[in-house]
Amino acid sequence: MPNIQTKNLPYRVLPLSKNGYTFHYIAQGSKSDEKLVFTTFEDKKFFLKIIERSDDFLIKHDKLTRVAPIYIIKNALKAFQELHALKLTFSNIESKKEASHLEKSDDYLKPITYFANEFQTDKEIWVEVGFGSGRHLLHQAAAHPEIQFIGLEIHGPSIEQVTKQCKIQNLENLLIAAFDARIFLEFLPSNAVGKIFVHFPVPWDKKPHRRVISTAFIDESTRVLKKEGTLELRTDSENYYAYTYETFISLTQADLHIRKNREIAISSKYEDRWKKQEKNIYDITLTNHTLSDKKKAFEKLTFQKPLSFAAFKEKFSPYVFKGDDFFVHFERVYQIDENSGVVKLSFGAFEKCEHKYLIFNDNKIQYFPYEALPIEQNLKSHQKIEEFLYE
């Protein structure tokens, strides 16, 4: 995690800019030990976080608003350091200049709002969930230029590695989303996907509710799959294989193909390791034979009524609401000035919630770093958030 540490932090009046980065304001947390620094670089908007500890200051990126590639965060920290003439006691942000052929490799990495609002293609779509090192995904994209590939991954270094390879290999049919696969499929059109690959997902034996494969995931998969499209699980975990088989077989109608120790054209480094250990590899493929109706689209979730930050802060206290299949949790307040501030909250479905900020400015409210995604549990949560704000 990129971060810098310093014994002293003499704050300067913002906004200030350096090397293309602009630091617009500092939001002071309700607990005095934490601040957020609103930062922009080109079209990227994010927070740096300052944590005041007993004998020094830790400055790092805010996970909730994290951007990619990672050099953007490193250079933001470097610019902040130089503007404040900080004498560092620790830093892990020094890195070699990006090679010219890797610049703009983040063009392949799209925000979830792109898939929710803008994504369109005339090509058949194939999706890989949790692509890891990217061997399989990159091989498939190079072998099938007529297919639009989407890779889903939340591990930052894996995303960096694959986006760089996309640039090096000049792949024009591959997009990356750093997002939870359990929600992502909801943004794809019905009957548009030819294949969904779920290769070697985390087994989550102690927390099975976190597994990608579930009845809800299968329902969304069969909706987006074209007729005769397939959902393919590949795993070295006998427990995950058995769980997936039981989940698939409980469907009212299922066409399953099961294979053991099948050789495929390209394998991951982990699969190579497991084969050397003589572990068994299991495949279950579900084939879809139905056509699905077009998915109903929700309107954007926005705040129409004005509300001052001062009025909100006066009544704020940590708040939790639990519904049947959703929740809302107001967590923390940060003040910019008397008329503006930031509120941290989480909401949505219990097992696939959203973590966001609300930014109050000029009596207006907006979600940050991007709008709330238009799915059913978020709609219910948004309505409850409005009740809390305006009651």
What are the tens digits of pLDDT across the range 101-145?
444 555 899 988 899 888 999 999 999 999 999 999 999 999 999
Alpha helices in 135-268 (DSSP H): 135-143, 156-169, 181-184, 215-224, 238-249
Q: How many of the other CB atoms lie within 10 Å of CB of 13?
A: 6
Longest pairwise C-alpha distance within the chain: 66
Distance linking the first and last C-alpha atoms of the chain: 40
What are the tens digits of pLDDT across the range 340-379?
999 999 999 887 788 999 999 999 999 999 998 888 899 9
Range 239-278 burial, b when 16+ CB lie within 10 A, else e: ebbebbeebbeeeeeeeeeeeeeeeeeebbeebeebeeee
According to DSSP, the residues that pair with 21 across neighbouring strands are 18, 41
What are the tens digits of pLDDT across the range 19-41?
999 999 999 998 778 999 999 99
Q: What's the pLDDT score for residue 243?
A: 95
According to DSSP, the residues that pair with 60 across neighbouring strands are 3, 49
Asked whether the CA dihedral 323, 326, 331, 337 is positive or negative, the reply is: negative
User: If residue 312 lies in a helix (H) or strand (E), which one and from where to where?
Assistant: helix 309-315
Query: In this prediction, what percent of the chain has a pLDDT beyond 70?
Result: 97
- Higher pLDDT: 281 or 276? It is 281
Q: What's the pLDDT score for residue 106?
A: 59
Chain Cα centroid distance, residue 210: 15
- Distance CA(13)–CA(26), nearest Å, equals 9
Order of all β-strands in the sheet with 124-129: 174-177, 147-152, 124-129, 193-199, 225-235, 282-287, 256-260
